[in-house]
């Protein structure tokens, strides 16, 4: 029997023709078998115009298994329609909706096929031009679930929100104070990132990826750098550079987790932790700025290494700074987690079951809070995490308290790991600057554990060694539906804390 | 009990002028508790000044109540301020049964806001109105239990006499009952004025709002009226609690006046402290809490009946 998938390690590249191209039915069966029977996760499922042009659309799936430590690739070519996998396997739900709008692909059998970003189709979209799947491109203008009857009412929130946050539209179907269903409609932040990346890498590429989701700059640029390094063997980052990437990534995690816990406290009107965490988040951002001059770590990571030199003197400075800040963080979080009124609000609110988390393919802290054992730093180690990684957090309740508690554990683990690494920082790293020259006709996969969870970048190069397709799957892409699930049957007044406990990215999703 | 009408009028003036300052005190206390500098004590005045200089933007789909509500709310409150015995001095406007008039003036103001909120047709305001009605229906029970207790203890249906007469403080059960009833009045004050832990006046999250959701569509002087009315209501209800605890025969009117003001601002500090250390309750908890308050108020009433031998003379 010929292999149906190709297995590769995280952050490696293989020639595109080595990935077995299956007939459509075998492709569907393989994906269903791997996801349903063998507990694989869908990291990416996307299309690109088949080459040579005119053949149709090539579909590529990247699956991974939490315990195998590698990725499985499969592909097929379809003409203009693909029978939906979603009814059997909900993890494909969002990916198939994305495919339908990016390439005008007909996906019969999909239960709720509508645009996720309201974006114009990508170049080379095949399919029948007369398709009626996506009739218009006004963001948010589409059908929503409706509920009819005397006691029910609809609440629409956004896209313009109170407060300085990103735009997104939320439709609640309510029975009194209880939410029957929540539908989330995004796309307001779409700026055509994947289209702009085609034909790269060029001078804009690093900037585009650093701003794919501004609060995950380090993770995103690390994923990109790993792709380039696997596609260009002259780029071999030194161990210090890899470690500095890890240090920056953990600082990013700390800043965001601390900020999120503060925001959660603010939403239940628990002022002390809210006020403290707001300040403390800034301290972590300033530590990142100490390393690279930018509070969000933009342009620190670059293909081949890092852009900044980090001296042992700076490491000592950041270490003492970290120790001082962490004692404040511990105090603020102790206050939060020991306050009965706060625990009463968090406990049992917005519960997502372990089964739902697995089926939907949730990632990151949201998945770990549901008892799903996922952490790429441990399961698919990359960069400096091959040597040591912060301890993995876990909880099983799946409620707001579990998500908060996972974040608290991760704060402690990352801080402990950072102390160890900073204390051992002996020599200054080299700065690196070069333009990557990528190998032609390859596919490369890079998985990174961003602070929100699994971030997957896939690059496919053409004969000239430029990007024929660059696919970004932000962790938020997997998790938005988890937020919708957490609100089923919940009180509508609990939406803000459910939302903050996930704190998903709009621009990372909308790209 | 010595009476000096001058101090009543001074108390009325203080209520009208200093009500926004009480909000400033609460906010300053909260800020101090969490280690921030916080806004100036006078910030609520600046906000009102800003609002009164602005124009009003009103939705075009309204059929009227949206525009009338702020005026009705403010008028109701301005009438209600006339009936409290400031500094334990009898109000010149007092009449038998004015306690009910007072309670329903507050109710009228609330009713106007609810109708105004429903008038906008917005789902947020509808939710806010529905919550306001639900919780105020429960609060009203507790409020009337407290009024009933006061009426029984003072043998009067006149708010001024209820709150300013010296209670039979030689009877221990009555003292216990007064403290219980004042505690309940304090809780009612927190609920009615949308303070933490029952509501969060500072939140920007429409889905969690009660009172604030109802006034989302107001701007300019309309909003100024509503905010000023809210400040006045907070002052009145804090004054009510202070008056319940302040015996009228304690000191000469001048000293009582000072104690009265100090008591109200102390009330503001207590509210601020509660808000700083407590998170907000779940909505589902509020009915339980309010029914508990009603029962406690009834216990206070029962204690008084037992303590005084029962029966109005």
**Contact indicator for A207, A294 with CB cutoff of 8 Å:** no
Q: Chain A contact for B275, CB < 8 A? A: yes
Query: Cα–Cα distance between A235 and A302 in angstroms, integer?
Result: 10
Q: Chain A contact for B36, CB < 8 A? A: yes
Q: What is the pLDDT of residue B241?
A: 93
What is the distance between the terminal CA atoms of chain A, rounded to a whole angstrom?
A: 40
**Contact indicator for A169, A115 with CB cutoff of 8 Å:** no
Q: Report the mean per-residue pLDDT for chain B.
A: 89
Q: What is the pLDDT of residue A456?
A: 94
- How many residues in total does chain A contain? 511
Q: How far is CA A365 from CA A99, A242, A282, A351, A484, in A?
A: 27, 23, 22, 14, 16
Banded pLDDT at B266 (limits 50, 70, 90):
very high
Q: What is the pLDDT of residue A129?
A: 52
Closest-approach residue (CA) in chain A for B38? A275
Banded pLDDT at B201 (limits 50, 70, 90):
confident
Judged by average pLDDT, the poorest of A103-107, A402-406, B19-23 is A103-107
Query: Cα–Cα distance between B189 and B180 in angstroms, integer?
Result: 14
For residue A438, say if its preceding peptide bond is cis, omega within 30 degrees of 0: no
Query: Cα–Cα distance between B19 and B45 in angstroms, integer?
Result: 10
Q: Chain B contact for A269, CB < 8 A? A: yes
Quote ipTM for the complex. Answer: 0.85
Q: Please judge whether B36 and A275 are an interchain contact, meaning their C-beta atoms are less than 8 angstroms apart.
A: yes
**Contact indicator for A407, A365 with CB cutoff of 8 Å:** yes
**Contact indicator for A20, A238 with CB cutoff of 8 Å:** no
Q: What is the pLDDT of residue B312?
A: 44
Query: Cα–Cα distance between B247 and B1 in angstroms, integer?
Result: 10
Q: What is the pLDDT of residue A3?
A: 79
pLDDT at residue A466 greater than cutoff 50: yes
pLDDT > 90: percent of chain A: 64
The pLDDT tens digits of the residues spanning A348-357 come to 999 999 999 9
Which letter does DSSP use for residue A462 in this model?
A: -
Q: What is the pLDDT of residue B310?
A: 55
CA atoms within 13 A on the CB side of B224: 15
Banded pLDDT at A136 (limits 50, 70, 90):
low
Q: Chain A contact for B288, CB < 8 A? A: no
* Cβ burial A352-364 (10 Å sphere, 16+ → b, else e): bebebbbbbbbbb
Backbone angles phi, psi at B101, to 5 degrees: -60, -45
Distance from CA of A124 to the nearest CA of B (A): 43
Which letter does DSSP use for residue A37 in this model?
A: I
* Residue A59 bridge partners (DSSP): A47, A76
Q: Please judge whether B204 and A162 are an interchain contact, meaning their C-beta atoms are less than 8 angstroms apart.
A: yes
Query: Cα–Cα distance between B24 and B47 in angstroms, integer?
Result: 11
pLDDT at residue B204 greater than cutoff 90: no
pLDDT at residue A135 greater than cutoff 60: no
The pLDDT tens digits of the residues spanning A238-270 come to 889 999 999 999 999 999 999 999 999 999 989
Q: What is the pLDDT of residue A130?
A: 46
DSSP letters for A169-209:
EEEEEEETTEEEEEEEE--TT---HHHHHTT--STTHHHHH
| Token duo for residue A88 | 């059997």
Q: Chain A contact for B33, CB < 8 A? A: yes
**In terms of pLDDT, which residue wins out, A163 or B27?**
B27
Q: What is the pLDDT of residue A320?
A: 95
* Residue B224 bridge partners (DSSP): none
**Contact indicator for A138, A111 with CB cutoff of 8 Å:** no
pTM: 0.90
Query: Sign (positive/negative) of CA torsion A132, A133, A137, A143?
Result: positive
CA A41 to chain centre: 13
Query: Which residues have C-beta within 8 Å of that of residue A424, sequence separation ≥ 6?
Result: none
Q: What is the pLDDT of residue B169?
A: 59
Q: What is the pLDDT of residue A1?
A: 46
* Residue B200 bridge partners (DSSP): none
Supply angle C-alpha B241, B247, B251, rounded to 5: 125
Banded pLDDT at B167 (limits 50, 70, 90):
low
Q: Please judge whether B205 and A162 are an interchain contact, meaning their C-beta atoms are less than 8 angstroms apart.
A: yes
Supply angle C-alpha A25, A26, A32, rounded to 5: 90
Q: How far is CA A366 from CA A293, A335, A392, B2, B267, in A?
A: 31, 23, 13, 67, 42
pLDDT at residue A395 greater than cutoff 60: yes
Select the residue of B30, B208, B279 nearest A341 (Cβ to Cβ).
B279
Distance from CA of A268 to the nearest CA of B (A): 5
**A332-336, Cβ contacts within 8 angstroms, sequence gap of 24 or more:** A332/A262, A332/A272, A332/A273, A332/A276, A332/A277, A332/A280, A333/A261, A333/A273, A333/A408, A333/A411, A335/A272, A335/A273, A336/A261, A336/A264, A336/A265, A336/A270, A336/A273, A336/A404
Backbone angles phi, psi at B217, to 5 degrees: -90, 0
pLDDT at residue B272 greater than cutoff 90: yes
pLDDT at residue B124 greater than cutoff 60: yes
The pLDDT tens digits of the residues spanning A479-494 come to 999 999 999 999 999 9
Judged by average pLDDT, the poorest of A45-49, A72-76, A142-146, B257-261 is A142-146
Select the residue of A268, A271, A341 nearest B34 (Cβ to Cβ).
A271
Query: Cα–Cα distance between A194 and B295 in angstroms, integer?
Result: 63
Query: Cα–Cα distance between A365 and A375 in angstroms, integer?
Result: 9
pLDDT at residue B1 greater than cutoff 80: no
Q: What is the pLDDT of residue A150?
A: 85
Plot region of A475 (φ>0 → left; ψ -120 to 50 → alpha; else → beta) = alpha
Banded pLDDT at B313 (limits 50, 70, 90):
very low
Residues in B closer than 8 angstroms to A341, CB to CB, are: 197, 278-281
| Token duo for residue A290 | 């100490």
Plot region of A398 (φ>0 → left; ψ -120 to 50 → alpha; else → beta) = left
- How many residues in total does chain B contain? 313
**Contact indicator for B282, A345 with CB cutoff of 8 Å:** yes
Q: Chain A contact for B195, CB < 8 A? A: no
> For chain A, which domains are there?
6-103 (3.30.720), 193-474 (1.10.645.10)
Q: What is the pLDDT of residue B252?
A: 86
Select the residue of B123, B206, B284 nearest A162 (Cβ to Cβ).
B206
Backbone angles phi, psi at B13, to 5 degrees: -60, -40
The secondary element (H helix, E strand) that includes residue A63 is strand A57-64
Query: Which residues have C-beta within 8 Å of that of residue A211, sequence separation ≥ 6?
Result: A217, A298
The pLDDT tens digits of the residues spanning A200-243 come to 788 899 999 999 998 999 999 999 999 999 999 888 898 899 99
Plot region of A474 (φ>0 → left; ψ -120 to 50 → alpha; else → beta) = beta
The secondary element (H helix, E strand) that includes residue A449 is strand A442-450
Banded pLDDT at A46 (limits 50, 70, 90):
very high
Banded pLDDT at B163 (limits 50, 70, 90):
confident
| Token duo for residue A416 | 């402990």
pLDDT at residue B2 greater than cutoff 80: no
How many other CB atoms are there within 10 angstroms of residue B124's CB atom? 21
Query: Cα–Cα distance between A226 and A436 in angstroms, integer?
Result: 11
Coil, helix or strand at residue A359: helix
How many other CB atoms are there within 10 angstroms of residue B299's CB atom? 17
Q: Chain B contact for A339, CB < 8 A? A: yes
Q: Please judge whether B204 and A272 are an interchain contact, meaning their C-beta atoms are less than 8 angstroms apart.
A: no
**Contact indicator for A405, A395 with CB cutoff of 8 Å:** yes
Q: What is the pLDDT of residue A86?
A: 92
Q: What is the pLDDT of residue B88?
A: 87
Query: Which residues have C-beta within 8 Å of that of residue A4, sequence separation ≥ 6?
Result: A20, A22, A26, A30, A74
Query: Cα–Cα distance between B117 and B115 in angstroms, integer?
Result: 5
Q: What is the pLDDT of residue B300?
A: 87
pLDDT, mean of residues A491-506: 92
3-state secondary structure chain B: CCCCHHHHHHHHHHHHHHHHHHHHHHHHHHHHHCCCCCCCCCHHHHHHHHHHHCCCCCCCCCCCHHHHHHHHHHHHHHHHHHHCCHHHCCCCCCCCCHHHHHHHHHHHHHHHHHHHHHHHCCHHHHHHHHHHHHHHHHHHHHHHHHHHHHHHHHCCCCHHHHHHCCCCCCCHHHHHHHHHHHHHHHHHHHHHCCCCCCCCCCCCCHHHCCHHHHCCCCCHHHHHHHHHHHHHHHHHHHHHHHHHHCCCCCCCHHHHHHHHHHHHHHHHHHHHHHHHHCCCCCCCHHHHHHHHHHHHHHHHHHHHHHHCCCCCC
Q: Please judge whether B123 and A271 are an interchain contact, meaning their C-beta atoms are less than 8 angstroms apart.
A: no
Banded pLDDT at A179 (limits 50, 70, 90):
very high
Backbone angles phi, psi at A63, to 5 degrees: -115, 155
Q: Report the mean per-residue pLDDT for chain A.
A: 90
């Amino acid at each position: 029997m010929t292999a149906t998938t190709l297995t590769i390690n995280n952050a490696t590249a293989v020639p595109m023709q080595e990935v077995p191209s299956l007939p459509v039915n075998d492709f569907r069966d393989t994906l269903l078998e791997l996801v349903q029977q063998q507990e694989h996760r869908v990291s990416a499922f996307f299309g690109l115009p088949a080459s040579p042009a005119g053949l149709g659309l090539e579909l590529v799936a990247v699956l991974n298994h939490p315990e195998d430590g590698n990725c499985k690739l499969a592909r097929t070519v379809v003409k203009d329609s693909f029978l939906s996998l979603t009814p059997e396997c909900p993890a494909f739900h969002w990916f198939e909706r994305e495919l339908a709008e990016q390439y005008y692909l007909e996906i019969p059998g999909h239960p709720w096929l509508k645009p996720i970003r309201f974006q114009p189709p990508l170049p080379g979209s095949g399919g029948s031009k007369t398709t009626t799947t996506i009739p218009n491109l006004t963001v948010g203008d589409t059908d929503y679930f409706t509920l009819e009857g005397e006691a029910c009412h609809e609440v629409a929130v956004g896209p313009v929100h109170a407060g300085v946050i990103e735009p997104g539209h939320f439709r609640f179907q309510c029975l009194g104070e209880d939410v029957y269903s929540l539908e989330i409609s995004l796309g307001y932040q779409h700026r055509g990132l994947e289209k702009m990346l085609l034909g790269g890498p060029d001078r804009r590429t690093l900037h585009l990826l650093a701003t794919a989701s501004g609060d995950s700059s380090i993770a995103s640029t690390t994923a990109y750098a790993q792709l380039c390094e696997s596609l260009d063997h002259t780029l071999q980052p030194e161990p210090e550079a890899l470690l500095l990437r890890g240090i920056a990534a953990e600082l990013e995690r700390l800043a965001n987790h601390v900020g999120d816990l503060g925001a959660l406290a603010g939403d239940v009107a628990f002022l002390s932790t809210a006020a403290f965490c707001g300040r403390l988040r800034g301290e972590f951002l300033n530590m990142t700025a100490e390393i690279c001059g930018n509070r969000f770590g933009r342009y620190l990571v670059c293909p081949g290494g890092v852009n900044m030199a980090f001296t042992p003197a700076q490491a000592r400075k950041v270490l003492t700074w970290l120790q001082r800040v962490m004692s404040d963080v511990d105090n603020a979080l102790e206050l939060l987690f020991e306050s009965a009124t706060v625990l009463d609000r968090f406990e049992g609110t917005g519960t997502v079951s372990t089964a739902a988390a697995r089926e939907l393919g949730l990632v990151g802290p949201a998945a770990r809070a549901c008892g799903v054992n996922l952490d790429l730093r441990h399961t698919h180690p990359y960069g400096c995490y091959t040597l040591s990684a912060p301890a993995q957090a876990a909880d099983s309740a799946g409620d707001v308290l579990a998500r908060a508690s996972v974040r608290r554990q991760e704060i402690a683990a990352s801080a402990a790991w950072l102390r160890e690494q900073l204390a051992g920082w002996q020599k200054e790293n080299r700065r690196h600057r070069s333009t990557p020259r990528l190998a032609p006709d390859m596919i490369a996969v890079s998985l990174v554990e961003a602070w929100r969870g699994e971030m997957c970048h896939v690059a496919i190069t053409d004969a000239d060694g430029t990007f024929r397709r660059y696919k970004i799957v932000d962790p938020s892409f997997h998790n938005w539906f988890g937020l919708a699930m957490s609100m089923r049957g919940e009180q509508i007044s609990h939406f803000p804390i459910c939302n903050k406990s996930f704190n998903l990215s709009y621009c990372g999703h909308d790209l | 009990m010595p009476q000096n009408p001058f101090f009543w009028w001074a108390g009325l003036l203080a209520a009208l002028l200093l009500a926004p300052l009480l909000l400033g005190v609460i906010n300053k206390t909260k800020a101090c508790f969490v280690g921030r500098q916080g806004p100036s004590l006078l910030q609520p005045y600046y906000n009102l000044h800003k609002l009164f200089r602005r124009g009003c933007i009103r939705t075009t789909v309204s059929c009227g109540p949206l525009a009338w509500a702020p005026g009705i709310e403010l008028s109701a409150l301005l009438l209600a301020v006339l009936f409290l015995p400031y500094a334990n001095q009898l109000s010149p406007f007092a009449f038998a049964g004015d306690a009910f008039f007072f309670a329903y003036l507050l109710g009228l103001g609330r009713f106007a806001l609810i109708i105004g909120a429903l008038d906008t047709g917005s789902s947020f305001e509808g939710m806010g109105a529905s919550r306001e009605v639900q919780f105020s229906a429960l609060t009203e029970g507790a409020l009337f239990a407290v009024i009933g207790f006061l009426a029984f203890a003072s043998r009067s249906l006149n708010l001024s006499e209820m709150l300013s007469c010296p209670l039979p403080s030689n009877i221990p059960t009555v003292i216990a009952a007064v403290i219980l009833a004042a505690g309940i009045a304090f809780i009612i004050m927190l609920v009615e004025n949308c303070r933490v832990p029952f509501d969060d006046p500072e939140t920007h999250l429409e889905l969690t709002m009660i009172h604030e959701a109802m006034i989302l569509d107001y701007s300019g002087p309309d909003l100024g009226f509503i905010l000023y009315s809210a400040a006045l209501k907070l002052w009145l209800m804090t004054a009510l609690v202070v008056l319940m605890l302040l015996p009228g025969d304690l000191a000469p009117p001048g000293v009582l006046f000072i104690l009265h003001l100090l008591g109200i601002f102390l009330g503001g500090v207590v509210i601020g402290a509660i808000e700083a250390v407590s998170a907000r309750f779940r909505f589902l908890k509020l009915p339980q809490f309010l029914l508990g308050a009603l029962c406690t108020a009834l216990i206070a009433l029962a204690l008084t009946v037992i303590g005084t031998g029962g029966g109005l003379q």
